[in-house]
Amino acid sequence: MNVLRWWKLLVVLSGVVVVPAHAELEIVITEGMNDARPVAIAPFIWNGATVAPPQDMAEIIARDLERSGRFRPMAVADMPEQPINAATVNLATWRSRGIEAVVVGKISETAPGQYQVGFELIDIFKGKEKPGSVAALASSSVIEARQHLVQAAGVRMHAHKMADIIYEKLTGERGAFATMIAYVNIDRSDRLPYKLFVADSDDYNPRVIASTTEPLMSPAWAKDGHRIAYVSFEKGRSQLFVQDIFTGERQVVAAFPGHNGAPAWSPDGTKLAMSLSHEGNPEIYIYDLATRQTRRITQTSGGVIDTDPTWSPDGQYVAFTSDRGGKPQVYRVHIASGQTQRISFEGDYNSEPEYSPDGKKMVMINRTAGQFRVGIQDMASGNLEVLTDTQLDQSPSLAPNGSMVIYAALHRGQQVLAVVSTDGRFKARLQARKGEVRAPAWSPFLD
């Protein structure tokens, strides 16, 4: 493994295509469900003249909550009842099973391909049965109720949005299920083995936005959720592109002699930080998309490598990896003044930083006992906690609510994606059904 990820230079993009694809990843939960909160998502009631939507909205919500690591949804077969609305929920029955919250819902067809979708979220331990009826639910136990008009094409994404609402109501933290991920799939049996995918956060509705015969890596999302930056080796040299994921339109934003790589969007989406070597060794630069001008913000020499930039949420700093001290560590530079300081100190190797949404923490790759693992550092104290126990971890990317990290790892000799909660309790593996996957990037919130 090249510790400073010089593999990012080996990118050749032979063409850009936008085509539909089947789901590529299989999610396998590996750790952390024992202390998850027990909840139940009852099957939604269907009311319509034609067939129900092909997507099972209750199942999508249940799987979203499970993937968060915070909840353990009850299997439908184990449910003591399948209530049709809040009034038909028997609180005592669910309490006896230890269930904390129940979701009930209804889907009504209002026109061909159009549905009225509603749900109620019931806090089982908050409500009280009315006298004379153990099944009657006091209105105080309904802690959220929503109804929306949904088109058939948007049913699955709307289920993710409902899961976001439920997650936030139960945790106080915004959900991140109605988001997207980008990743590279490598299938060497394919004529174009390297493909850049974008997909829903659970990997449904994947689309290929770039295909190539050579390695393709390092996607980075813009704040608007419409654009992705990446590096290509078209024409025999590295180039940095920005592409609209919906139209396929793209533009070259860096094609200097030498290395052009490691794109990172500014919080306002108007600039890109990147690593360029046209003036000597790789340094950190900022590219303004409006003026198309670049400005160098680090100053080193003698073969030092500065790479992997990431912006602070307030846009005042860019953190990056540098071996200026002899081994890779994380530094940050104040953009206005150019003042630079080292910010990682635990261990002899730290790289690939990314700020948490509130700027209070930072995920990075830390070398621990000879293994490259995902760690999270508290910015105030400098304390670092190792979150993973996988092998050759790289490319960590935070969910926009800061609750989860998606990253690349080695599993049984293959490159896979993995997910870990930022408290380290929940872990899952996203295994490619065919080939290998790497270079994940979690989108921002999409609304």
Q: Which CATH class is domain 6-21+178-442?
A: mainly beta
**Which amino acid is it at 389?**
D
Residue 373: left if φ>0, alpha if ψ -120 to 50, beta else—which one?
beta
Q: Topology of 34-171 in CATH?
A: Rossmann fold (3.40.50)
Report the pLDDT value the prediction gives residue 12, as an integer from 0 to 100: 27
The list of the chain residues with pLDDT below 50 reads: 1-22, 131-135
Global confidence as pTM: 0.89
- Confidence (pLDDT) at 21: 36
Strands (E) across 11-152 are located at 19-20, 25-31, 37-41, 45-47, 71-73, 101-111, 114-123, 142-151
Domain boundaries, the chain: 6-21+178-442, 34-171
C-alpha 168: how far from chain center = 17
What is the per-residue pLDDT across 118-170, written as a single tens digit (0 to 9) for each? 999 999 988 655 544 444 555 678 999 999 999 999 999 999 999 999 999 99
SS3 68: coil
Decide: 343 and 330 in contact? Cβ < 8 Å. yes
Q: DSSP for 377-425? A: EETTT--EEE----EEEEEEEE-TTSSEEEEEEEETTEEEEEEEETTS-
Considering only CA atoms, give the Rg of the chain. Answer: 24
Buried b (16+ CB within 10 A) or exposed e, 143-170: ebeeeeebeeeebbbbbbbbbbbbbeeb
What SS3 class is residue 441? strand
The total of other beta-carbon atoms located within 10 Å of residue 33's CB is 14
| Sign of the four-CA dihedral 379, 380, 381, 387 | negative
d(CA 316, CA 374): 25
pLDDT tens, residue by residue, 62-111? 999 998 989 999 999 999 999 999 999 999 999 999 999 999 999 999 99
